[in-house]
Amino acid sequence: MRVQRPPGVSIEQIEGGVTAPSGFRAAGVACGIKKTGAPDLALVVAGAPAPAAAVFTTNKAQAAPVLVSREHLARSGGLARAIVVNSGCAHACTGPEGMAVARSSADFVASIVGCAPEQVLVASTGVIGVQLDLDKLRRGAGDAAKALSREAHGDAARAIMTTDRAPKSAAVSVTTPSGTFRVGGMAKGAGMIEPHMATMLGFVTTDAAIAAPLLQRALREAADVTFNAITIDGDTSTNDTVFLLASGASGVRIDEAAYPAFAAALREVCGSLARAIVRGGEGATKLVAVSASGAASDADATRAAHTIANSLLVKTAIHGGDPNWGRLLAAAGRAGVAFDVERATVRIGPVVLFKDGVPFDDRAPEAAAYLAGTDLEIEIGLGAGGPHAATVWTCDLSAEYVAINADYRT
pLDDT per residue over 288-312, tens digit each? Answer: 999 999 999 999 999 999 999 999 9
Q: What is the pLDDT of residue 237?
A: 53
How far apart (Å, rounded) are the C-alpha atoms in residues 72 and 245? 14
Sorting pLDDT into bands at 50, 70 and 90, what band is 398?
confident
> Given this model, what pLDDT does residue 193 score?
43
Helical H segments across 37-117, by residue range: 64-76, 95-113
Most confident of 122-131, 229-238, 292-301: 292-301
pLDDT at residue 238 in the model: 64
Tens of pLDDT, residues 315-328: 999 999 999 999 99
Cα–Cα distance, 129 to 242 (Å, whole number): 22
- pLDDT tens digits, residue range 5-52? 788 899 999 999 999 999 999 999 999 999 999 999 999 999 999 999
The catalytic site residues sit at: 199
Instruction: Name the pLDDT band for 409 (thresholds 50, 70, 90).
Output: low
Q: What percent of the chain has pLDDT over 70?
A: 93
Averaged pLDDT score across all residues of the chain: 91
366, pLDDT greater than 50 = yes
Give exposure, 195-207, as e/b (b: 16+ Cβ within 10 Å).
bbbbbbbbbbbbb
List, for residues 167-203, the tens digit of each pLDDT value.
999 999 999 999 999 999 999 975 544 444 335 899 9
Contact 13, 69 (CB under 8 A): no
Distance CA 83, CA 203 (A): 9
Closest CA to 57 of 246, 244, 203, 194: 194
- pLDDT grade for 403, boundaries at 50, 70 and 90: confident
Q: What span, in angstroms and rounded, lies between the C-alpha atoms of 190 and 231? A: 10
Cα–Cα distance between 305 and 307 in angstroms, integer? 5
Task: Say yes or no to pLDDT of 220 above 50.
Answer: yes
Selection from 158, 72, 156 nearest residue 122 by Cα: 72
Query: What per-residue confidence (pLDDT) applies to 235?
Result: 47
Q: pTM, whole model, 2 decimals?
A: 0.83
Domains and CATH numbers, the chain: 10-279 (3.60.70.12), 287-406 (3.10.20.340)
Which value, in Å, is the radius of gyration of the alpha carbons in the chain? 22
DSSP string covering 296-343 = SSHHHHHHHHHHHHH-HHHHHHHHHT---HHHHHHHHHTSSS---TTT
User: Residue 190: what are its φ and ψ, rounded to 5°?
Assistant: -145, -25
Q: Between these two residues, 382 and 91, which has the higher pLDDT value?
A: 382
Q: CB-based contacts of 272: which residues, under 8 Å, 6+ apart? A: 13, 170
Write down the pLDDT at residue 343. Answer: 97
Q: Collapsing DSSP states into helix, strand and coil, what is residue 171?
A: strand
Q: Per-residue pLDDT tens for 129-176?
A: 888 999 999 999 999 999 999 999 999 999 999 878 889 999 999 999
The residue among 304, 287, 218, 297 whose CA lies nearest residue 256 is: 218
Using alpha carbons, select from 291, 294, 290 the residue that is nearest to residue 383: 294
Residue 406 half-sphere exposure toward CB, CA atoms < 13 A: 7
20 and 14 Cβ atoms separated by less than 8 Å: yes
Strand-by-strand arrangement of the 358-359 sheet? 358-359, 351-355, 345-348, 375-381, 287-295, 388-395
Mean pLDDT on 60-73: 91
Q: Which residues pair with 377 in a beta bridge?
A: 289
248-272 pLDDT, tens digit per residue, is 999 999 999 999 999 999 999 999 9
- Judged against a pLDDT cut of 90, whether residue 360 lies above it is answered with yes
pLDDT at 284: 81
